[in-house]
């Protein structure tokens, strides 16, 4: 295939040669230099073409399992340059948002609406968050019916859907209707925090602590997590800052597995709540958001002497035929071939946080040693495997007393911001079609049924 040629109207195109046929494929250029081959007309233009004496059945399709080379949409929300370790929300570098201590809710509004809110917009949205922070009392039956130690991610996915049943009007919002969309976004952002805290209380057998309207987003969450009837919990500035940073860093990451899920489910015109519930399920997997739990478990096993760092590093190098390679949780990323910028920020934040709180966490020493050894290891160097966001995030969460089984759920609270933005972008795109990949069938060809 040739590429980079200009067609008669000056637009860039690629030329695909198929036997004696040539097909022009336009190129789409992103604002940061990404170039994509636009194959939208490929099937139609190749239908019936003769290749090796045979007509192409239905037209030519592309094959890209895992979408390693395929863009599913055009988006102006988040930009990642995986080669150079760059992440920007709506053009703002993640390091700058973190350093300037932008608040999580401001970041959420930036992602959803494209600009940081004015003070008036921020106040207005804050009021909505307060107004919607309570769950319908009927939801208590949902929580009471759960078994103890139920998986918090499964609770969250179910509760997000379940809570929306009490507001049928929100399940039918028109994404173009500003007021109802804002109400739905505020309800989700606000309630996901209440549901998360209630899941913890349920798992611990503690009475539910209702939200306090006088508190900001992060303090309110920590209050619902840790206040008990006879002792009110007051979060320190350090804890609030750490949680805020954690949520900002997790707020969006373009078309990852869970976000692509939210957009895919939304592409069938499923409502915001159901689409995000599906995203939560996608996030729970150990290769995605669930990796932060796996990292902590791995560090704990090393601490207990059940595994050694060297043994662990060596174990991932062995690849048994026909079996997937063992993976070191917290390392590697589909997009980053360099240090994940979020991991870099988190690593520094964790150092400062532990010093400020005067915590000596042996898991941090193990993590540092593991990272150092991996950094100098040939296998990891050649495969460009660096720590990702999940490698240090658990140590930060531990320092503010978040239990390990809540880690992925904490990720979800942050990511709800990005999911809302991405769902809306998909819903408002007049060119968006229901997402429906194709397949290359390799099963049996037509055969008759021979019953005795
Ligand atoms: N440890 C050891 N080997 C790894 C790792 C790892 N963490 N990650 C990738 N590799 C290897 C793969 O096995 C593969 O080698 P092989 O083909 O010889 O088996 C090679 O590196 C390339 O990997 P890919 O499969 O192309 O990577 P992919 O883009 O599919 O996967 C993923 C990315 C899922 C993140 C992977 O790196 C991984 O499993 N990491 C561990 C789990 C993790 O930390 N997930 C969190 C990611 S960040 C997030 O979701 C928020």
Report pTM.
0.94
Which residue's CA lies nearest to atom 20 of ligand 1? Answer: 383
According to the model, what pLDDT value does residue 5 have? Answer: 52
Residue 9 has pLDDT above 80, yes or no: no
> Tokens for 153?
């991610």
Residue 435 CA to ligand 1 center (angstroms) comes to 25
Distances from the Cα of 423 to the Cα of 5, 252, 260, 275, 353, angstroms: 35, 12, 9, 8, 34
Residue 392 has pLDDT above 60, yes or no: yes
Closest to 280 (Cα-Cα) out of 141, 414, 148, 172: 414
Is 51 near ligand 1, meaning CB less than 6 Å away? no
According to the model, what pLDDT value does residue 53 have? Answer: 82
3-class secondary structure, 340: coil
- Please list the residues that pair with 22 across neighbouring strands: 17
According to the model, what pLDDT value does residue 6 have? Answer: 55
Tell me: the pLDDT tens digits for 131-188? 999 999 999 999 999 998 889 999 999 999 999 999 999 899 999 999 999 999 999 9
333 is a catalytic site residue? yes
Tell me: the pLDDT tens digits for 75-116? 999 999 999 999 999 999 999 999 998 999 999 999 999 999
CA atoms within 13 A on the CB side of 261: 19
Among the options 223, 252, 333, 340, which is catalytic?
333
Dihedral angle at the C-alpha atoms of 146, 150, 152, 157, nearest 10 degrees? -60
Tell me: the pLDDT tens digits for 276-305? 999 999 999 999 999 999 999 999 999 999
Residue 331 CA to ligand 1 center (angstroms) comes to 7
Residue 383 CA to ligand 1 center (angstroms) comes to 9
According to the model, what pLDDT value does residue 2 have? Answer: 45
3-class secondary structure, 292: helix
Residue 429 has pLDDT above 50, yes or no: yes
Residue bearing tokens 């549901």: 195
Confidence of residue 10 (pLDDT cuts 50, 70, 90): low
Cα 222 from Cα 239, distance rounded (Å):
9
Residue 407 exposed, middle or buried by CB count within 10 Å (0-12, 13-18, 19+): buried
390 is a catalytic site residue? yes
Is 385 near ligand 1, meaning CB less than 6 Å away? yes
Is residue 341 within 8 Å of 349, Cβ to Cβ? no
Cα 429 from Cα 91, distance rounded (Å):
20
According to the model, what pLDDT value does residue 299 have? Answer: 97
Cα 210 from Cα 46, distance rounded (Å):
61
């Amino acid at each position: 295939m040739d590429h980079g040629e200009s067609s008669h109207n000056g637009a860039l195109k690629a030329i695909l040669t198929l036997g004696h046929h040539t097909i022009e494929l336009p190129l789409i250029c992103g604002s940061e230099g990404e170039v994509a081959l636009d194959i939208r007309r490929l099937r139609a233009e190749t239908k019936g073409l003769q290749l090796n004496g045979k007509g192409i059945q239905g037209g030519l399709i592309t094959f890209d399992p895992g979408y390693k080379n395929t863009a599913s949409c055009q988006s102006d929300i988040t930009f990642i340059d995986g080669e150079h370790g760059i992440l920007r929300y709506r053009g703002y570098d993640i390091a700058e948002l973190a350093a300037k201590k932008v608040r999580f809710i401001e970041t959420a509004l930036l992602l959803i609406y494209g600009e940081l809110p004015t003070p008036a917009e921020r106040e207005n949205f804050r009021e909505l968050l307060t107004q919607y922070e309570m769950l319908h009392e009927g939801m208590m039956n949902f929580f009471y019916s759960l078994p103890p130690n139920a998986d918090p991610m499964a609770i969250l996915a179910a509760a997000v859907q379940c809570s929306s049943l009490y507001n049928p009007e929100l399940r039918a919002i028109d994404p173009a209707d500003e007021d109802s969309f804002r109400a739905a976004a505020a309800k989700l952002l606000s309630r996901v925090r209440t549901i998360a805290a209630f899941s913890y209380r349920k798992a611990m057998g503690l009475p539910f602590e209702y939200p306090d309207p006088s508190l900001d987003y992060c303090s309110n969450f920590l209050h619902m997590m840790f206040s008990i009837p006879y002792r009110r919990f007051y979060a320190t500035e350090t804890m609030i800052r750490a949680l805020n940073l954690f949520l900002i860093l997790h707020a969006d990451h373009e078309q990852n597995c869970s976000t692509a899920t939210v957009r895919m489910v939304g592409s069938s015109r499923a409502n915001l709540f159901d689409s995000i519930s599906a995203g939560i399920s996608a996030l729970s997997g150990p290769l995605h958001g669930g990796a932060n739990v796996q990292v902590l478990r791995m560090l704990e096993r090393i601490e207990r002497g059940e595994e050694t760092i060297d043994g662990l590093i060596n174990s991932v190098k062995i690849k048994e035929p026909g079996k997937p390679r063992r993976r070191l949780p917290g390392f590697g990323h589909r997009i980053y071939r360099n240090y994940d910028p979020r991991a870099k920020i988190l690593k520094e934040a964790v150092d400062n946080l532990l010093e400020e709180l005067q915590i000596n966490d042996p898991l941090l020493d193990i993590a540092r040693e593991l990272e150092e050894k991996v950094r100098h290891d040939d296998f990891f160097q050649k495969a460009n495997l660096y720590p990702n966001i999940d490698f240090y995030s658990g140590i930060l969460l531990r320092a503010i007393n978040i239990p390990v089984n809540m880690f992925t759920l904490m990720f979800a609270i942050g990511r709800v911001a990005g999911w809302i933005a991405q769902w809306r972008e998909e819903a408002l795109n007049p060119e968006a079609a229901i997402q429906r990949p194709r397949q290359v069938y390799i099963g049996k060809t037509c055969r008759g049924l021979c019953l005795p």
